[in-house]
A and B are shown apart, each in its own frame.
Chain A
Amino acid sequence: MTAVLPSDSLAGQAGELAHVASRRDGRRSGTPRVAKHLRDNRTAYLMIAPMVILLSIFVIWPLIYSLYLSGFKISFYKDPEFVGFQFYQYVLESPKFWQSLGVGLAFAAMVVPAGMLIALLIASFIKTLSKRLASFMKTTVYVPAVVSTVVASVLFVFMYQDQGVVNWFLSLINAGPVAWLNNPGTALPAIAVPAIWLGLGITTLIMLAGLLDIPDSYYESAELDGAGFVKRTWYITIPLLKNILLYLFVTGFTAALQMLDLPLVMTNGGPVNATTTPNLFIFNSFRDGTPYSTSFSLTAALLLFVVLGAISVLVFRLINSDKAVDG
């Protein structure tokens, strides 16, 4: 950071001096003045400076340093040993790493589409309500968003117990009890439910904002043509919400793929690694306590960064984002 700023300021100073000199020559005036566009530039640089500095300290530098460190076998008690790309090979060869990515993708596939669909239905419903009722509903829907993930995890662990409310419902139809969190087949969907619930508030509000932006005249004319709710949603709402849906899909997908707290608290990655999401895999690798584990978890984290970036690019490619459609 300190290496960037002086050279930046030197370049700026040199440019400014040259400019001032040329103006002095041209106008032969006594007081140097700075061109407006340069002043604008300076204001712009000053305004983005805090962000750039913070990003450099907390993101860019750690990233570069992590890349450097990933080439070493790190021990906190011995000198680091240079091993080149060995840990990249180890991570890529690890069946658990790929399994965790699979778990992360399956988790995202359960949480994101279901969450968006439910949010769209709720948002469409809220739109039809009176103002007072709508504001009550908006608050109600938003409540889970302010609940801590850890609190929600504990709450759902209780609900999934043998004597919990979920198995109580099953007992009404003479089924169960199901070991929701201790069965490899049901554990991941059981964790997806609180994830959907927690994300519902924000998704619904963003969708509602998008819905309210669609002119009522579209719906009115469609209604005159005899279009029902499904047709109106399919031909008007969804196409006009495309940018919002894309945004929600990409952010939801990356967030779901990076889920850590729910499986950590609810199942600790079990049973038989069925809920070990990529971040939990990295965290557990770090907690392993061997010198091997430090570099391994670091490298796995860097590779996850690449995978997440690639998935986001892919999503953007598949769903071409249009510029805002004029309403």
Chain B
Amino acid sequence: MHKRRSKVLLTLAAVVTASLALAGCTAGGGGTTADGKTEVTFWQQKFEDYQGVWFKKYVDQFNASQDKIKVNYQVVPADTWTQKLQAAQAAGKQPDIATTNYGNIAAGVVDGKFAALDDYMPADVFADIKDNVSSFVTIGGKHYAYPMLVEPSTVLYYNTDMVKAAGLDPNTPPTTWDQLIDWSKKLTTGDVKGMTIASTAPDLGWSSWGLQYNACGHLPISDDWSKANATDPCYEKLLNLYKTLYQGNLIPQQPKVGYADGSPYGSGEVAMMAGGSWVIGQLKTDFPDMLAKTMVTAFPSWDGDATRTTATLGGWTLTLDSKSKHPQQAADFIKYLLAGDPAIMADFFKAAGYSKYTVRKSVDEALASDPNASADPFMKIISDKVVAYGKQEPGYPWDIALAMGTAIESAMKGTDSIQGSLKTADAAINDVIQKQSLAGTAPKK
């Protein structure tokens, strides 16, 4: 009997030990392939389809170009990105290289997530980055990401056929918020809404940054992140704009897609659209017929002053994980893809239909000889009227952006008054400042 019990115990112990050992084997990453190549993992957040094709092409090309490093490329859907990355970080299996937007760099550096690229890449690759963009990825004098592109978050698209049909002049688009509301009213007919703009808190959180700057000249937090600033009366006109558009039935009441997707405009469901510059790329690939009847201009300013900010300049970078077991090899790939031969990035902007902006001087030079790059009428207007006055995305934690997004949504949908919504946001932001100890942590360049 005792023997039998010992056998049971022994078997059990063996099973437990074996499973623990197996679990141990799979933990961690950064191995080598059978033929001795160092393996580096790269996660790309899913963007437009053409981007996936471009990344795949150059990852394959990099893997074939040398015999020391093998990059394992994986595309992760945007809606599952954060939880997948967090879960991987908890298990110590995070990728060596990941796509990171400008807004997340500062907070990531504070948390120690990213390695400084200066330690693994020569100084001249950083000198090639345009000066204004260089500040987006630099903290305390070090580069924690290599930038890929810049794109303004908000420009105004309008359908010239519909505008003419409503008796409006497409060559004199609205320049003030009052005019925008007037145009929206005149363009709303039957099933077609006058315009579309973000209407849910998560979308409003980031897409309204440019308009928050427009209304107040600042974001709803003090410069040193020590105090909320959301009850500043100047925000009331911003919330009122969104409220009028929503409650006046001038924008879709139940949008089928998020702010970043330009298909409601492309398919003619709305006459005007607030959208990022990336929508030009979408129109070119998915709705080519719309291009001839589309005009683009800066989103109106509250008082008509065209020099006020209307958009933040967002965009994507590649970051190197601070816990990467092969940081040099990972950095070599980042250098190859984003900082190496300018023709590689030039190919990217070509695939994007020139709907995004370059961040390197050498890529501009490479594109200078391409007539299509400079001839795009949309990009010229966006460059002169929007990017010129654009501001960098804020680097504060997402909770603060979401608090402001929730305030706008709450005013739009009548959950609370405009003042009440701003007051709730102010309290929520102060709460984040206190609980996440933000005071004085605003990134210094």
A residues apposed to B, CB below 8 Å: 1-2, 5-6, 9, 12-13, 16, 34, 75-78, 90, 94, 160-162, 177, 179-184, 268, 270-274, 283, 286-292, 294
Would you call B445 an interface residue if the criterion is a C-beta within 8 Å of the partner chain's C-beta atoms? Answer: no
Per the CB 8 Å criterion, the residue count for chain B at the interface is 43
- List residues of chain B with CB within 8 A of the CB of A180: 254
Docked complex Cα distance between A175 and B253 (Å):
15
Decide if B13 touches A181 in the complex (CB within 8 Å): no
Neighbour of B83 across the interface among A5, A160, A271, A287, CB < 8 A: A287
Closest beta carbon of chain A to B247's beta carbon, Å = 11
Docked complex Cα distance between A78 and B323 (Å):
11
Chain B: CB-nearest residue to A160: B254
Docked complex Cα distance between A36 and B102 (Å):
72
Decide if A184 touches B413 in the complex (CB within 8 Å): yes
Instruction: Say whether, besides A13-B2, A184-B415, A287-B86, A271 and B254 are in contact (CB < 8 Å).
Output: no
- List residues of chain B with CB within 8 A of the CB of A94: 431
- List residues of chain A with CB within 8 A of the CB of B388: none
Neighbour of A9 across the interface among B9, B253, B397, B436, CB < 8 A: B9
Decide if A271 touches B200 in the complex (CB within 8 Å): yes
Instruction: Say whether, besides A160-B254, A179-B253, A182-B253, A272 and B413 are in contact (CB < 8 Å).
Output: yes
Chain B: CB-nearest residue to A270: B200
Would you call B398 an interface residue if the criterion is a C-beta within 8 Å of the partner chain's C-beta atoms? Answer: yes
User: What are 20 residue pairs bridging A and B, where the CB atoms are less than 8 Å apart in the complex?
Assistant: A2-B13, A2-B16, A9-B9, A12-B5, A16-B1, A76-B89, A76-B90, A76-B92, A77-B89, A77-B113, A77-B322, A78-B112, A272-B201, A286-B83, A289-B398, A290-B397, A290-B436, A292-B435, A292-B436, A294-B86
Closest beta carbon of chain A to B346's beta carbon, Å = 33
Closest beta carbon of chain B to A178's beta carbon, Å = 9
Instruction: Say whether, besides A5-B9, A78-B111, A286-B86, A268 and B322 are in contact (CB < 8 Å).
Output: no
Docked complex Cα distance between A162 and B190 (Å):
13
Instruction: Say whether, besides A77-B112, A182-B199, A288-B398, A272 and B410 are in contact (CB < 8 Å).
Output: yes
Closest beta carbon of chain B to A239's beta carbon, Å = 44
Would you call B64 an interface residue if the criterion is a C-beta within 8 Å of the partner chain's C-beta atoms? Answer: no
Would you call B315 an interface residue if the criterion is a C-beta within 8 Å of the partner chain's C-beta atoms? Answer: no
- List residues of chain B with CB within 8 A of the CB of A182: 199-200, 253-255, 413
Closest beta carbon of chain B to A42's beta carbon, Å = 9
Decide if A162 touches B398 in the complex (CB within 8 Å): no
Decide if B202 touches A268 in the complex (CB within 8 Å): yes
Q: Which of B107, B253, B410 has its CB near the most chain A CB atoms (within 10 A)?
A: B253
Decide if A291 touches B201 in the complex (CB within 8 Å): no
Given contacts A268-B200, A289-B104, A289-B398, 8 further A-B contacts (CB under 8 A): A34-B1, A76-B86, A160-B254, A162-B252, A184-B415, A272-B201, A272-B406, A286-B83
Docked complex Cα distance between A284 and B68 (Å):
40
Interface of A is mostly: loop
- List residues of chain A with CB within 8 A of the CB of B86: 76, 286-287, 289, 294
Would you call B328 an interface residue if the criterion is a C-beta within 8 Å of the partner chain's C-beta atoms? Answer: no
Residues 390-445 of B contacting A (Cβ, < 8 Å): 397-399, 406, 409-410, 413-415, 431, 435-436
- List residues of chain B with CB within 8 A of the CB of A286: 83, 86
Decide if B111 touches A291 in the complex (CB within 8 Å): yes
- List residues of chain A with CB within 8 A of the CB of B409: 270-272
Neighbour of A77 across the interface among B111, B256, B397, B399, CB < 8 A: B111
- List residues of chain B with CB within 8 A of the CB of A34: 1
Decide if A179 touches B322 in the complex (CB within 8 Å): no
Docked complex Cα distance between A273 and B409 (Å):
10
Chain B: CB-nearest residue to A181: B254
Docked complex Cα distance between A213 and B9 (Å):
46
Would you call B82 an interface residue if the criterion is a C-beta within 8 Å of the partner chain's C-beta atoms? Answer: yes
Decide if A290 touches B9 in the complex (CB within 8 Å): no
Q: Which of B9, B92, B104, B322 has its CB near the most chain A CB atoms (within 10 A)?
A: B9
Chain B: CB-nearest residue to A162: B254
Chain A: CB-nearest residue to B199: A182
Q: Which of B92, B322, B413 has its CB near the most chain A CB atoms (within 10 A)?
A: B413
Docked complex Cα distance between A291 and B202 (Å):
20
Decide if A75 touches B111 in the complex (CB within 8 Å): yes
Q: Which of A9, A34, A181 has its CB near the most chain B CB atoms (within 10 A)?
A: A9
Q: Which of A78, A272, A286, A287 has its CB near the most chain B CB atoms (within 10 A)?
A: A272
Closest beta carbon of chain B to A171's beta carbon, Å = 12
Instruction: Say whether, besides A76-B90, A288-B398, A290-B436, A161 and B1 are in contact (CB < 8 Å).
Output: no
Docked complex Cα distance between A208 and B26 (Å):
49
Write out, one digit per residue, whether chain B residues 297-319 have a CB within 8 A of any chain A CB (1) or not (0). Answer: 00000000000000000000000
Would you call B166 an interface residue if the criterion is a C-beta within 8 Å of the partner chain's C-beta atoms? Answer: no
Closest beta carbon of chain A to B37's beta carbon, Å = 27
Decide if A289 touches B82 in the complex (CB within 8 Å): yes
Neighbour of B16 across the interface among A1, A78, A183, A290, CB < 8 A: A1
Docked complex Cα distance between A50 and B156 (Å):
63
Chain A: CB-nearest residue to B114: A77
Would you call B12 an interface residue if the criterion is a C-beta within 8 Å of the partner chain's C-beta atoms? Answer: yes
Decide if B112 touches A161 in the complex (CB within 8 Å): no
Q: Which of A5, A77, A181 has its CB near the most chain B CB atoms (within 10 A)?
A: A77
Closest beta carbon of chain B to A29's beta carbon, Å = 16
Closest beta carbon of chain B to A320's beta carbon, Å = 41
Chain A: CB-nearest residue to B8: A46
Decide if A77 touches B201 in the complex (CB within 8 Å): no
Closest beta carbon of chain B to A296's beta carbon, Å = 8
Decide if A179 touches B406 in the complex (CB within 8 Å): no
Neighbour of A161 across the interface among B254, B410, B431, CB < 8 A: B254
Chain B: CB-nearest residue to A75: B111
Closest beta carbon of chain A to B118's beta carbon, Å = 19
Decide if A77 touches B323 in the complex (CB within 8 Å): yes
- List residues of chain B with CB within 8 A of the CB of A78: 111-112
Docked complex Cα distance between A5 and B12 (Å):
10
Residues 67-119 of B contacting A (Cβ, < 8 Å): 82-83, 85-86, 89-90, 92, 94, 104, 107, 111-113
Neighbour of A75 across the interface among B112, B414, B436, CB < 8 A: B112
- List residues of chain A with CB within 8 A of the CB of B92: 76
Docked complex Cα distance between A78 and B89 (Å):
12
